[in-house]
Amino acid sequence: MKSPSLRGCAHGVAVGVLVITCAQDVVIADADGTRTLPVVGPVPPTVAVLLMGLAAVLWPARRRPGWLTPQVRTGGPALASALYSTAALLLGTGGPFGPGEVVLLLCLLFVAIRHCPQPWALICALLDVTAMLLLSVRYLRSVNEGALQLMLIGLLLVGVFAGLAGYLRTLDYRRAAAVRETRRAERVAIAADLHDFVAHHVTGILVQTQVARMMAASGQQELDPVLAGIERAATEALASMRRTVGVLRDTGQEMAGRRPVGDLAGVAELTEGFATPGLRVTLRRDLAVSDELPHEVQAAAFRVVQEALTNIRRHAADATHVQVRLCADAGRLEVSVTDDGRGGTQLPPAAHGGGFGLVGLKERVTALDGDLHAGPRGSVGWEVRAAFPAPRAPRAPRAPRT
């Protein structure tokens, strides 16, 4: 990639060459006054066309008025040049033929093909090519063999500039398509994260609210633990949404001192907060499971546990025991969540979910070359089990001692 100083030098050289070639056109026009058409005012038509072309090419993008669109910039000077050539041919007066106007029309052709929207790109390009070919007719005052030879040379130049502009326009389109696809993938990933976290916490709020209502109806007074669980779940849901909004806003501020959302340490917090009256949750983590696993592996393990627990709340409210296991075997991390529920649930139909959780979870695990299984566990209960490669994350190099 070129440095800004090199780009600035190249731009300055190009501008200088363009101005010098246009100045040569003015010198040629002044050397033979018969080659200019009389116009109203002190500015001859050659100078007017050159000034229009220079303004269209060199006007800074930040200072261009709104009406000076790419189609106006490329079509206006080309139309003026074509009209000038046609008038010169009809009156038989001829006109100057210098390098400046040729270079300007080629630059305008390049801009038209690369930057003009469809169908204006084709229209403006045709105007530029027509004006380019009419220059030889203006110079020779007729369509003869010499004019045809000059037209052939002009067509070769047009082909080179049009091909380069079309290639760069294709690259621009591919780059824009890649950016759109990347943004779409990011939005899908953020939506999946929002679904995983918020759905988990909101489902917990709903279940514990139902428990609180049943306890209140039965006259029990020990509502404080249930209400505390509701408060904790609501707080975590708000925190999850706040983190997601922070990602969307992309403020660029580093989250110093904060542990990334979704790792093996978060699995312990997740299981501790899942227990409710009548439901026991145990976590068994092998000593071989390291905290130095790559973050994407830890995040996937966290999401497996989170989705499994959410589904237990939705579809197995009668479960009395849930077991979460984390074990490492032969360079693979295995995560399993089992329950002893029979499928009883008292949640309203709208809270049962749309079946997208396991689909997204399958995609996440498969992306890490892992396997996911979800199904009945014998005659009673359900099991969600995932296994994927778990290489250790590289350690940061230690700073040398001084």
Residue 395 has pLDDT above 70, yes or no: no
Determine contact, residues 263/299, Cβ cutoff 8 Å: yes
Pick from 361, 396, 395, 399: nearest CA to 290? 395
- Where would I find the H helices in 218-371? 224-249, 264-274, 295-315, 356-367
Mean pLDDT of 120-144: 83
Q: What is the pLDDT at residue 252?
A: 42
Range from 80-89, 200-209, 279-288, 372-381 carrying the lowest mean pLDDT: 200-209
Span of 196-210, 222-236, 388-402 with lowest mean pLDDT: 388-402
Most confident of 6-20, 119-133, 335-349: 119-133
Domain ranges for the chain, please list them.
Answer: 14-143, 264-392
Q: What is the DSSP letter of 383?
A: E
Task: Give me 393's structure tokens.
Answer: 């994350």
What is the maximal distance between C-alpha atoms in the chain?
Answer: 110
With pLDDT > 70 as the criterion, what percentage of the chain qualifies? 67
Instruction: Reply yes or no on whether the pLDDT at 336 is more than 90.
Output: yes
Amino acid 34: pLDDT = 43
Domain 264-392 has CATH 1.10.357.10: no
Q: Is pTM beyond 0.85 here? A: no
Max avg pLDDT among 52-61, 119-128, 298-307? 119-128
Residue 122: the pLDDT is 92
pLDDT at 388: 86
Please give the Cα distance from 57 to 48 (Å, whole number): 14
Top-confidence residue, 206 or 321: 321
- 161-165, 183-187, 338-342, range with the lowest pLDDT: 183-187
Per the prediction, the chain carries an average pLDDT of: 76
pLDDT of residue 260: 45
pLDDT tens profile 337-355: 999 887 765 555 544 555 5
User: pLDDT at position 124, please?
Assistant: 92
Distance in angstroms (rounded) separating the CA atoms of residues 307 and 196:
7
What is the token pair recorded at 117? 């929207």
The stretch 116-135 carries a mean pLDDT of 90
CA distances from 110 to 68, 83, 176, 200, 232 (A): 17, 21, 19, 55, 62
- Check residues 151 and 195 and name the one with the higher pLDDT: 151
pLDDT of residue 49: 84
Beta bridge partners of 338: 323, 383
Which residue, chain included where needed, has tokens 């693979």?
332
Among 46-55, 228-237, 247-256, 383-392, name the one with the lowest average pLDDT: 247-256
Comparing CA positions, the residue from 278, 264, 345, 283 lying closest to residue 310 is: 345
Residue 283 confidence (pLDDT):
92
pLDDT of residue 123: 92
Q: What is the dihedral of CA 226, 240, 323, 287, to 10 degrees?
A: -130
Query: pLDDT digits over 244-282, tens only?
Result: 666 555 544 443 334 445 788 888 888 887 887 778 899
Closest C-alpha to 51, from 107, 104, 120, 112:
104
* pLDDT classification of 39: cutoffs 50, 70, 90: very low
Q: Is the dihedral of CA 56, 59, 65, 66 positive or negative?
A: positive
Confidence of residue 140 (pLDDT cuts 50, 70, 90): confident
